[in-house]
């Protein structure tokens, strides 16, 4: 186990003492303790909140080893001083580590160091260093996730303090809010927020349902974590599956045409077409409740710490009104409306009929948006509106432009794992008004007409960028962002691909906001239950700063760029920037090699495979993925492979590899796919984090998550795909213009592969595989097309970190 804590705030000894007093660790008894050992004893007793009588406390102290042969209770009866050796032997046990299994009972300090657990070193603790060490220990992560103080809270430490008048609420400790809010008595309220528009054309502005969970305390104004999730009111999986498009269709030639961007630019228009409802009355009291929302465990954690949480599914969802427009200005505005209501700038009603207005008077008006995938996408999108009250977003695995999600460089490209999905399929999936047949029946015809039109506008025929996609490109408006942005993305996310966050990362330079990014080795996952990174603590520090205005140095303390290593588990690199390498290393394609000198040959491969193989690959994409196997694979004739010699030293690829090819197709249309591959026998990370079998509490008798961590697979593999990219040979200029292409005409293409940060070990070979049909992502026409690469003008530019 290697501990990594980026949210550990260094504080001086006066603050240590003040915070230990605030949290009742240092009380009158500790202050009055005659000796350091007896002060230590009193502190230790506080780590057993389950027991109250002295005998039982003594018994509990007896369960800890103070020296290799003496328990802590016995030791304390004769101890004259507290050494670091004794302190950290006991500390390791409090941190849930075990002798033999986790640490060397003879050498606790070296075990602390080895696991990167912070220590205060001294031969003999005095009162000040004892407090400092105790404070640091409370803020240190245990073996089983979260800080020791979090674990103590989970075991009831804050229960007696919860309703005491001298307990501040929120209570900040080391710059982070602590669980002193009673999660067993949270308020659950529903309100209906009025938008400015009427997407379902029923003559009334669309109302959007919001589910609010907040502390019962009425004397306190709290900030909001808001997750906009079109999935939260249920999904229509059967209908979505039915609408899913066929992908075993041929690629076709596009009619060449010059297209100016201005001609396809979308101009958002949210002008109201119907009048707002007239407010009939005002109230403080919601009249609708709910039992259980579909929650994000990160939000759950903050419900115990003085934050309200709101979930809303937006227009077209169950209990709301309107249509599902899949990411355009209307859906974004319906999420933005929630922020506006919290901030006091928009009206909400207690129900959909009586026009009784209700204000978020319990809120301090400050909002953070959270969530992954579509949820994080909406966070990003709402941020680009510059809405007041939105102080920050935590945008995880988020889409920054929907074109890049369902298309790429003039091709229909499926999100990994979802061939045939498209914007209309997602609309059908998330139009949860279907779940209420009486309501759905009213809107059915209008909905179907809208959905049919979406099917046309998204244009699967050409795969080109058009006004439909421009309406769903948030990168255009990044300069409007006023909220600070935390981005989280998996470097192995082939659903929402890494360029989505990369484009946002770069575009944010135009906005005058703080930006931070965390890149992990996962696919399309959350990281708030991952043991090796204190993501939840970081967010706690961040939200305290952004939403409660606490001066805790969060912007400076949290690294701007944090990247998980792909070779060594539990290793995170703090960097200054990502994808900012100016001088890229050029490898020329040369006779199957990636080398220093340009080649002179021509390399051909065909697209078509045998009929049986084709059928097999369409149902088993994993089998097709052996395409990249070297030196030979069952698909050797369907690809061109180029490899470096084994690398003399390890390299970091930081950013986007550019593939420049001179290439021709045997017909007058065509597409290319490229994969960058790490060749070398190695035990690599398992694709998914390994569950560690440990429940992770969000508070005292509150909701739970399961701790996980990336581990090395038990077996070595010979290669791993690093990155990929796809391009239509008729989209050499850009994604919206169809260039001409003639059969057997060499053309030059330039393709930026998905950005990465990849640790390529020494002795491995870097490889490029060029092919056409990507069974997991492109259309699959199994067409009789041959592609030929002219090596003399083909190269890759690789951003090796210096």
Shortest approach of a copy of itself to residue 709 CB, angstroms? 16
Residue given tokens 């966070």 in the structure block: 379
Residue 568 or 701: which CB sits closer to a copy of itself?
A: 701
- Residues 384-443 binding a copy of itself (CB under 8 A) are 434-439, 441-442
Residue 350 or 730: which CB sits closer to a copy of itself?
A: 350
Q: Does 753 bind a copy of itself (CB under 8 A)?
A: no
Answer for which of 18, 56, 645, 743 binds a copy of itself (CB under 8 A) is 56
Residue given tokens 């303790």 in the structure block: 33
Judge whether 738 counts as a catalytic residue: no
Q: What is the DSSP letter of 476?
A: G
Which tokens in the block code for residue 396? 């995880």
Answer for which of 22, 162, 187, 190 binds a copy of itself (CB under 8 A) is 190
Shortest approach of a copy of itself to residue 621 CB, angstroms? 15
Residue 213 or 772: which CB sits closer to a copy of itself?
A: 213
Contact 631, 593 (CB under 8 A): no
Q: Does 280 bind a copy of itself (CB under 8 A)?
A: no
Q: Which residues of 180-208 are buried (b: 16+ CB within 10 A; e: fewer)?
A: bbbbeebeebbbbbbbbbbbbeeebbbbb
Q: Does 165 bind a copy of itself (CB under 8 A)?
A: no
x/- contact string, 140-159, with a copy of itself (CB under 8 A)?
A: --------------xxx---
> How many other C-beta atoms lie within 10 A of the C-beta of residue 675?
23
Contact 382, 336 (CB under 8 A): yes
Q: Does 98 bind a copy of itself (CB under 8 A)?
A: yes
Q: Does 62 bind a copy of itself (CB under 8 A)?
A: yes
Shortest approach of a copy of itself to residue 103 CB, angstroms? 10
Residue 152 or 225: which CB sits closer to a copy of itself?
A: 152
Could you give the CA distance from residue 364 to residue 342 in angstroms, rounded to a whole number?
Answer: 8
Q: Which residues of 49-88 are buried (b: 16+ CB within 10 A; e: fewer)?
A: beeeeeeebbebbeebbbbeeeebbebbeebeebebebbb
Number of residues that bind a copy of itself (CB under 8 A): 56
Q: Does 107 bind a copy of itself (CB under 8 A)?
A: no
Q: Does 291 bind a copy of itself (CB under 8 A)?
A: yes
Q: Which residues of 390-428 are buried (b: 16+ CB within 10 A; e: fewer)?
A: bbbbbbbbbbbbbbbbbbbbbbbbbbbebbbbbbbbbbb
Answer for which of 12, 100, 583, 648 binds a copy of itself (CB under 8 A) is 100
Count of residues making up the chain: 802
Q: Does 289 bind a copy of itself (CB under 8 A)?
A: yes
Catalytic residue among 141, 520, 524, 588: 524
Residue 444 or 553: which CB sits closer to a copy of itself?
A: 444
Contact 248, 781 (CB under 8 A): yes
Counting Cβ atoms within 10 Å, is residue 565 exposed (0-12), middle (13-18) or buried (19+)? middle
Shortest approach of a copy of itself to residue 211 CB, angstroms? 10
Could you give the CA distance from residue 790 to residue 604 in angstroms, rounded to a whole number?
Answer: 9
Residue 47 or 385: which CB sits closer to a copy of itself?
A: 47
Judge whether 219 counts as a catalytic residue: no
Catalytic residue among 198, 300, 424, 493: 493
x/- contact string, 685-704, with a copy of itself (CB under 8 A)?
A: ----------x-x--xx---
Counting Cβ atoms within 10 Å, is residue 535 exposed (0-12), middle (13-18) or buried (19+)? buried
Contact 123, 104 (CB under 8 A): no
Answer for which of 69, 255, 512, 632 binds a copy of itself (CB under 8 A) is 69
Catalytic residue among 295, 313, 373, 794: 373
Contact 158, 181 (CB under 8 A): no
- Residues 574-613 binding a copy of itself (CB under 8 A) are none
Counting Cβ atoms within 10 Å, is residue 308 exposed (0-12), middle (13-18) or buried (19+)? buried
How many whole angstroms from its chain centre is CA 446? Answer: 35
Judge whether 182 counts as a catalytic residue: no
Tell me which stretch binds a copy of itself (CB under 8 A): 77-85, 99-107, 556-564, 676-684. 99-107
Shortest approach of a copy of itself to residue 473 CB, angstroms? 32
Shortest approach of a copy of itself to residue 705 CB, angstroms? 13
Tell me which stretch binds a copy of itself (CB under 8 A): 57-65, 224-232, 650-658, 672-680. 57-65
Answer for which of 7, 65, 486, 652 binds a copy of itself (CB under 8 A) is 65
- Residues 217-246 binding a copy of itself (CB under 8 A) are 236, 238-239
x/- contact string, 440-459, with a copy of itself (CB under 8 A)?
A: -xx-----------------
Answer for which of 12, 28, 52, 271 binds a copy of itself (CB under 8 A) is 52
Shortest approach of a copy of itself to residue 776 CB, angstroms? 18
Strand partners, 663: 747, 789
DSSP 19-41: HHHHTTSS-HHHHH-SSHHHHHH
Secondary structure, 3-state, 747-798: EEEEEECCCEEEEECCCCEEEEEEECCCCCCCCCCCCCCEEEEEEEEEEEEE
Which tokens in the block code for residue 57? 């406390």
Answer for which of 27, 29, 32, 63 binds a copy of itself (CB under 8 A) is 63
DSSP 129-180: HHHHHHHHHHTSB-TTSSBHHHHHHHTTTTTTTTT-TTS-SS-EETTEE---
Answer for which of 80, 255, 267, 292 binds a copy of itself (CB under 8 A) is 292
Q: Does 53 bind a copy of itself (CB under 8 A)?
A: yes
Shortest approach of a copy of itself to residue 353 CB, angstroms? 4
Q: Which residues of 211-239 are buried (b: 16+ CB within 10 A; e: fewer)?
A: bbbbbeeeeeebbbbbbbbbbbbbbbeee
Q: Does 81 bind a copy of itself (CB under 8 A)?
A: no
Residue 93 or 495: which CB sits closer to a copy of itself?
A: 93
Which tokens in the block code for residue 460? 């699967």
Name the residues annotated as catalytic: 373, 493, 524
Interface with a copy of itself by CB under 8 A: which residues? 50-53, 55-56, 58-59, 61-66, 69, 71-73, 93, 98-101, 105, 154-156, 184-185, 190, 236, 238-239, 287-292, 350-354, 434-439, 441-442, 695, 697, 700-701
């Amino acid at each position: 186990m290697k501990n990594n804590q980026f949210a550990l705030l260094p504080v001086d000894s006066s603050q240590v003492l003040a915070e230990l007093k605030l949290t009742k660790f240092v009380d009158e008894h500790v202050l009055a303790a005659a000796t350091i050992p007896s002060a230590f004893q009193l502190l230790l007793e506080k780590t057993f909140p389950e027991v109250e009588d002295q005998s039982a406390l003594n018994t509990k102290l007896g369960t800890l080893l103070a020296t290799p042969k003496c328990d802590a209770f016995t030791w304390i009866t004769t101890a004259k001083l507290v050494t670091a050796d004794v302190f950290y032997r006991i500390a390791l046990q409090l941190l849930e580590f075990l002798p033999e299994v986790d640490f060397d009972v003879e050498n606790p300090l070296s075990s602390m160091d080895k696991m990167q657990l912070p220590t205060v070193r001294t031969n003999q603790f005095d009162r000040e260093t004892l407090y400092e060490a105790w404070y640091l220990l409370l803020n240190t992560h245990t073996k089983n996730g979260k800080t020791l103080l979090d674990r103590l809270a989970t075991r009831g430490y804050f229960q007696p303090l919860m309703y005491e008048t001298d307990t501040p609420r929120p209570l900040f400790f080391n710059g982070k809010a602590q669980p002193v809010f009673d999660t067993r008595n949270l308020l659950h309220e529903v309100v209906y927020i009025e938008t400015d528009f009427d997407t379902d054309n029923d003559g009334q502005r669309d109302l959007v349902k919001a589910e609010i969970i907040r502390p019962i305390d009425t004397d306190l104004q709290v900030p909001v974590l808001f997750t906009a999730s079109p999935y939260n009111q249920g999904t229509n999986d059967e209908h979505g599956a039915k609408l899913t498009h066929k992908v075993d269709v041929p690629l076709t030639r596009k009619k060449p045409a010059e297209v100016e961007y201005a001609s396809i630019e979308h101009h958002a228009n949210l002008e109201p077409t119907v009048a707002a409802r007239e407010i009939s009355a005002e109230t403080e009291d919601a009249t609708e409740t709910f039992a259980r929302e579909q929650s994000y465990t990160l939000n759950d954690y903050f419900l115990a710490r003085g934050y309200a949480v709101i979930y809303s599914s937006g227009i077209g969802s169950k209990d709301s009104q309107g249509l599902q427009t899949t990411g355009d200005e209307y859906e974004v505005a319906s999420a933005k409306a929630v922020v506006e209501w919290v901030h006091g700038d928009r009206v909400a009603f207690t129900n959909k009929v009586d026009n009784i207005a209700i204000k978020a008077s319990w809120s301090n008006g400050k909002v953070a948006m959270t969530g992954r995938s579509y949820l994080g996408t909406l966070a990003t999108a709402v941020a680009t509106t510059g809405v007041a009250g939105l102080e920050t977003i935590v945008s995880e695995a988020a889409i920054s432009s929907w074109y890049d999600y369902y298309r790429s460089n003039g091709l229909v490209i499926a999100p990994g794992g979802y061939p045939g999905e498209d914007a209309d399929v997602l609309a059908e999936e998330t139009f949860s008004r279907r779940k209420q047949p009486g309501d759905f029946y009213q809107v059915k015809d209008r909905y179907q007409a809208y959905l049919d039109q979406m099917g046309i506008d998204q244009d699967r025929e050409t795969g080109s960028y058009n006004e439909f996609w421009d309406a769903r490109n948030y990168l255009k408006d990044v300069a409007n962002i006023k909220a600070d942005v935390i981005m989280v993305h998996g470097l192995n996310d082939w659903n929402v691909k890494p360029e989505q966050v990369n484009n946002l990362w770069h575009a944010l330079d135009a906005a005058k906001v703080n930006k931070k990014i965390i890149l992990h080795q996962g696919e399309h996952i959350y990281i708030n239950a991952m043991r090796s990174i204190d993501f939840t603590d970081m967010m706690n520090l961040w939200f305290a700063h952004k939403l409660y205005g606490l001066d805790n140095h969060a912007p400076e303390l949290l690294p701007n760029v944090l990247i998980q290593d792909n070779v060594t588990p539990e290793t995170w690199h703090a960097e200054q920037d990502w994808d900012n390498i100016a001088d890229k290393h050029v490898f020329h394609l040369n006779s199957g090699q990636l080398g220093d000198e340009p080649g002179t040959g021509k390399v051909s491969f065909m697209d078509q495979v045998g009929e049986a193989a084709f059928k097999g690959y369409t149902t088993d994409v994993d089998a097709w993925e052996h395409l990249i196997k070297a030196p030979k694979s069952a698909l050797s004739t369907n690809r061109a492979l180029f490899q470096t010699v084994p690398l003399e030293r390890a390299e970091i690829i930081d950013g986007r590899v550019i593939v420049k090819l001179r290439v021709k197709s045997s017909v007058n249309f065509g597409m290319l796919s490229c994969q960058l591959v790490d060749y070398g026998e190695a035990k690599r990370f398992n694709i998914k984090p390994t569950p560690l079998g440990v429940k992770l509490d969000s508070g005292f008798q509150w909701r739970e998550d399961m701790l996980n961590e990336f581990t090395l697979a038990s077996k070595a593999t010979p290669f791993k795909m690093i990155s990929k990219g796809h391009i239509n040979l008729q989209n050499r200029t850009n994604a919206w213009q169809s260039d001409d292409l003639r059969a057997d005409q060499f053309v030059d293409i330039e393709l930026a592969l998905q950005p990465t940060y990849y640790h390529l070990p020494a002795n491995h070979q870097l490889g490029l595989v060029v092919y056409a049909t990507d069974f997991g992502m492109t259309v699959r026409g199994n067409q009789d097309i041959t592609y030929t690469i002219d090596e003399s003008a083909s190269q890759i530019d690789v951003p090796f970190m210096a």
